Amino acid sequence: MDSVTQAALGAAVAGMIAGRKASPKVLVAGAMLGTIPDLDVLIDYGDPVSDMVKHRGFSHSLFVLFPFSFLLTLCWQRWRPTQFGFGQLWCLVAACLMTHPLLDAFTAYGTQLFWPMPVSVAISSIFIIDPLYTLPLLLTLLAALIWRERIASLCRAGLIVSGLYLAWSVAALHLIEHQVEQQLAGTALEGQPVLVAPTPFNTVLWRIVVLDNEQYWEGLSSFLDGSHDVAFIVKPRGRWPEDVTKPTTLQALETFTDQFVRYEMQDDQLIATDLRLGMVDYLPFRFAFAHKDEHQGWQLQHPVQLESPAVRMKHLPSLWLRLLGSQDINADLCHVSETCQATAARPLSG
């Protein structure tokens, strides 16, 4: 989730655990603790693919944060004594640190909760920025700064409301997954890998991607639709050429994305795109792994992250109408930049 949400979550958790000892300083400390795991973005792993794949790694591991919380609590008590006993202070520190990766695990990005074990958790029930989750926390924190004698109870209320919304997102995800499973049953796509993820800033309109060898099917489903059937549009997925060695960074990207990767050739470059994050053709994680030399053919290169198309304001109303159940604008949303892509890029056939 975004830094504002994580800071608000940390502050609310700290205020609730502090109870009668809660104060604005405790809320600030909780907000700071809640953002610590994301400091791994300052680490340069050598290339943009590794930076992406290894983000939310060791700093988000429960196996790391649990002992780190003990160490941090010991240091805190030794160099800056507080009114808290060791047990309550450790509980506050540990909860603020570990709720961060636990919340991240509900997004589609993937969180290595059990690092160094090669397991990435991505429940994919909430978008990385969702005001309906964040606002209850921010509003109750603001109220807590006004009515300071009720900080703990207000923080608890904010966490309950946000927690209920998070629970709804998981239930909504399962409902959409069930609808898609029923629709694909008995078709050629039955049993194929399926990704279901919320569209930006809501849990009403959902994006569905189904892999199908060298193509993939993409569609949208809203809880306000008159029909549960998803209007899928097929798109080229391509594949990596067999005569070009697949770099280890690309293999890491494929593992990280559970193979939800699109391959294409554009401007004499071999490009791989993460299909999970973003929407339609607004896919931010696009990487060039090789370039074509006139004499030596395809040459592997240091991975380079490419700019994604800028979001066009004219498409936001279409997204809103689609959320409200209007399926007449499916083509507009699912072919955002199809025309220019058809001339500038083509799927790889190997």
Overall average pLDDT of the 6-25 stretch: 96
- Tell me the C-alpha distance between 325 and 204, whole Å: 10
Q: What is the pLDDT of residue 314?
A: 58
Quick check: 96 and 34 in contact, CB under 8 A? yes
Q: Is the pLDDT of residue 49 over 70?
A: yes
Overall average pLDDT of the 106-122 stretch: 93
pLDDT digits (tens, 9 = 90+) for 194-203: 999 999 899 9
pLDDT digits (tens, 9 = 90+) for 92-109: 999 999 999 999 999 999
Q: List CB contacts of 277: < 8 A, sequence separation 6 or more.
A: 108, 109, 283, 284, 285
Q: What is the pLDDT of residue 330?
A: 54
pLDDT digits (tens, 9 = 90+) for 128-153: 999 999 999 999 999 999 999 999 99
Q: Is the pLDDT of residue 19 over 60?
A: yes
Q: What is the pLDDT of residue 327?
A: 65
pLDDT digits (tens, 9 = 90+) for 214-254: 999 999 999 999 888 898 999 999 999 988 999 999 999 99
Q: What is the pLDDT of residue 310?
A: 66
Q: What are phi and psi of 59, to 5 degrees?
A: -70, -10
When pLDDT is cut at 50, 70 and 90, the band that residue 297 belongs to is: confident
Quick check: 104 and 115 in contact, CB under 8 A? no
Q: What is the pLDDT of residue 329?
A: 54
Q: Is the pLDDT of residue 338 over 60?
A: no
Which residue is listed with tokens 């300083």?
25
Of residues 143 and 329, more confidently modeled: 143
DSSP 150-213: GHHHHHHHHHHHHHHHHHHHHHHHHHHHHHHHHHHTTSTTTTS-EEEEEPTT-SSEEEEEEEET
Q: Is the pLDDT of residue 340 over 50?
A: no
What mean pLDDT value characterizes the chain?
89
Of residues 321 and 311, more confidently modeled: 321
When pLDDT is cut at 50, 70 and 90, the band that residue 313 belongs to is: low
Q: Is the pLDDT of residue 285 over 50?
A: yes
DSSP state of 278: S
Beta-strand pair 261-266/269-274: antiparallel
Of residues 266 and 132, more confidently modeled: 132
- Tell me the C-alpha distance between 60 and 121, whole Å: 11
Q: Which residues pair with 262 in a beta bridge?
A: 273
Q: Is the pLDDT of residue 48 over 70?
A: yes
pLDDT digits (tens, 9 = 90+) for 169-209: 999 999 999 999 999 999 999 999 999 999 989 999 999 99
Q: Which of 9-18, 160-169, 281-290, 304-313 has the lowest mean pLDDT?
A: 304-313
Task: Produce one character per residue of 98-120: b if its CB has 16 or more CB atoms within 10 Å, e if not.
Answer: bbbbebbbbbbbbbbbebeeeeb
Please state, for a pLDDT cut of 70, what percent of the chain lies above it.
90
pTM for this prediction: 0.89
Q: What is the pLDDT of residue 326?
A: 72
